[in-house]
Amino acid sequence: MDWLKDACFYEIYPQSFKDSNGDGIGDFNGIIEKLDYIKELGCNGIWMNPCFDSPFKDAGYDVRNYKLVAERYGTNDDLKRLFEEAHKRGIKILLDLVPGHTSDEHEWFKDSKKAEPGEFKDRYIWTDFWYGEARNLRGIAGMADRNGIYVVNFFASQPALNYGFLNKTEKWQSSVDSPEAIATADAMCDVMKFWLSMGADGFRVDMADSLVKFDDDDKSATCKVWKRIIAEVKKEYPEARLVSEWNRPRQSLPAGFDMDFMLNWTGNGYDLLLRDTGSEKPSPIFKKDSKRDINDFLNDYLPQYEDTRESGRYCLITGNHDTDRVSYYLDEDERKIAFAFLLTMPGAPFIYYGDEIGMRYMKELPSKEGGYTRTGSRTPMQWDDSEGAGFSTANKDSFYLPIDADLKGKNAKEQMAKEGSLYNTVKEVIALRKSNEALLDNGNLDFVLRQPGRREFAFKRGDLLIVVNPSEKACKVDSSDVKISSLPEKKYSIGDVKTDKGVIEMGPVSFGVFVIS
């Protein structure tokens, strides 16, 4: 069986998860200490944000050495032990791969920017002029002895690796099939195989659609590169699994990825589901007094899911290191049913560390390591209500980021001990998911109630009917609403949910799972 079938992932921001050596920064040994917590929650997969050697101008997304871990986290042997300890507990680990660019301190780039051509002169994208715009690409001038401008993939410190151009119009450009573009792809294959040989189970791929530059609007050239890379890697490591940061499953899954994320893009279906970041007064679907209905999400999600469900998994997330924590938009009761919805949908769900205990988005924090507004979602994990929140024994002034001043009710120890807490609700729904084959079937989804203007909605997963009422008002759902002929048997619920005389009665902000004959 494909190990993704029952996968439920937990995303770890390593510098903020658990500090084992008292320096104020999380590390591999700290993660090892907390593997049993992850297993007890029910997660059997980890996505770990970048852990490679880096100057940390972009929190590790600026890699200085792909085959060496950052000293702040430990050693390569420590990471190998993390793989081994995770595997003992039935947990797989995806590393965060950054293939579109490196740090400007990478040895490849140091060689590439020399005035005299070196081994890696074509590993990056350089123009043959030092002024003006590089064909609508962001270029940096005045930072190298080489006569030209280098193209960046994101930050100024992240020179773009050269995978070629779809339409070569300038002599300084390479084609996708050029020796230098193929050499870059081969180098990334080598990096992936290196970590798979050490025990990694796959990769989450950062900015996966950013490889081929200019005119690749349909990403056909980038897809071609990925097909080659992934096929080469899986020849040797067929069990390796990859998830793309892309949010275009019609492109990413046929390109060879096993999973894609539905990302939080302002105004898209996922954004309207949990955050509604584009509105002056956010009112996402799961906010109890919202006027939105589930179609604001489904009109975006369903066509993409239906077109690609045979190709791979289109995954839903509670949040990630790039988004505001959902606690900024929804209260705890709203989050309970929102997370229950995400965890009963197809694909492999991803839980961002701390979301399961209600960590808040600390909007007031200044930028750290290129985090900008994202910094407030990257604060240390709150293990208990002690002065250091159980994260570190260091002086709090040396913590990677500040601990929330109010830990009451938002720490793992308290949440785990409290019946009906957010943590225990998430744990229960993960267990429900894993114990029901219908919830693990990627191709099994039928929204039977999605009436415009109606807040409650319902969908079937095999022999299970799931009814959700995100509204502050109670409602009734009868058998004709959900296309069933007999009264269903309640299997699990959050909030006030009951059946009576052929009608499902849903209290405010409630969630129910029913067995249908």
Residue type, 234: K
Using DSSP's 3-state secondary structure scheme, residue 497 falls into strand
Tell me if 52 is assigned to some domain.
yes
Domain count, the chain: 3
Q: Provide the 10 A C-beta neighbour count for residue 35.
A: 16
Query: Which of 429, 453, 479 is the C-terminal boundary of a domain?
Result: 429
The stretches in the chain having pLDDT less than 50 are: none
Query: Which of 369, 395, 429 is the C-terminal boundary of a domain?
Result: 429
The CA distance from 386 to 407, in Å, is: 8
pLDDT of residue 176: 96
46 lies in the same domain as 124: no
Tell me if 38 is assigned to some domain.
yes
Using DSSP's 3-state secondary structure scheme, residue 126 falls into strand
Number of H helices, E strands in the chain: 13, 20
The CA distance from 127 to 148, in Å, is: 5
Q: 413-436, pLDDT tens digit by residue? A: 999 999 999 999 999 999 999 999
Q: What does residue 469 show for φ and ψ, rounded to 5 degrees?
A: -120, 95
Tell me if 419 is assigned to some domain.
yes
CB 67 within 8 A of CB 102: no
Q: Which residues contact 109 (CB under 8 A, 6 or more apart)?
A: 102, 103, 120, 123, 124, 159
Tell me if 244 is assigned to some domain.
no
Q: 468-489, pLDDT tens digit by residue? A: 999 999 999 998 999 888 878 9
pTM score of the predicted model: 0.97
Closest CA to 319 of 357, 288, 281, 280: 357
Cα–Cα separations (whole angstroms), residue 421 to 327, 358, 390, 432, 466: 14, 10, 20, 16, 21
20 lies in the same domain as 107: no
> Which CATH number does the domain housing residue 145 bear?
3.90.400.10
Region of residue 51 (phi > 0: left; psi between -120 and 50: alpha; otherwise: beta): alpha
Closest CA to 144 of 181, 99, 189, 114: 114
> Where are the extended beta strands (E) located within 115-218?
139-140, 150-151, 202-205
41 lies in the same domain as 78: yes
CB 30 within 8 A of CB 371: no
Tell me if 246 is assigned to some domain.
no
Environment class of residue 384 by beta-carbon count within 10 Å: exposed (0-12), middle (13-18) or buried (19+)? middle
Closest CA to 89 of 127, 144, 27, 42: 42
423 lies in the same domain as 324: yes
> Which CATH number does the domain housing residue 474 bear?
2.60.40.1180
Query: Which of 160, 176, 204 is the C-terminal boundary of a domain?
Result: 160
Tell me if 24 is assigned to some domain.
yes
The CA distance from 299 to 130, in Å, is: 46
Using DSSP's 3-state secondary structure scheme, residue 272 falls into helix
Environment class of residue 516 by beta-carbon count within 10 Å: exposed (0-12), middle (13-18) or buried (19+)? middle
The CA distance from 424 to 415, in Å, is: 7
420 lies in the same domain as 344: yes
> Which CATH number does the domain housing residue 74 bear?
3.20.20.80
Tell me if 183 is assigned to some domain.
no
Cα–Cα separations (whole angstroms), residue 442 to 198, 296, 310, 439: 30, 22, 8, 8
117 lies in the same domain as 76: no
pLDDT of residue 135: 66
The CA distance from 22 to 43, in Å, is: 27
Q: Provide the 10 A C-beta neighbour count for residue 40.
A: 12
344 lies in the same domain as 421: yes
327 lies in the same domain as 410: yes
- Token pair for 483: 């296309």
What end-to-end distance do the CA atoms of the chain give, in Å?
28
369 lies in the same domain as 340: yes
The angle, 0 to 180 degrees and rounded to 10, between the axes of the packed helices 179-198 and 220-236 is: 40
- Per the structure, the complete domain to which residue 325 belongs is given by 8-87+316-429
Tell me if 253 is assigned to some domain.
no
pLDDT of residue 132: 66
- Token pair for 105: 């301190």
Q: Which residues contact 309 (CB under 8 A, 6 or more apart)?
A: 346, 442, 443, 445
363 lies in the same domain as 341: yes
In the block, which residue shows the tokens 């785990």?
416
364 lies in the same domain as 413: yes
- Token pair for 76: 């390569």
pLDDT of residue 213: 85
CB 405 within 8 A of CB 340: no
321 lies in the same domain as 424: yes
CA 211, distance to chain mean position in Å, is 19
The CA distance from 112 to 126, in Å, is: 9
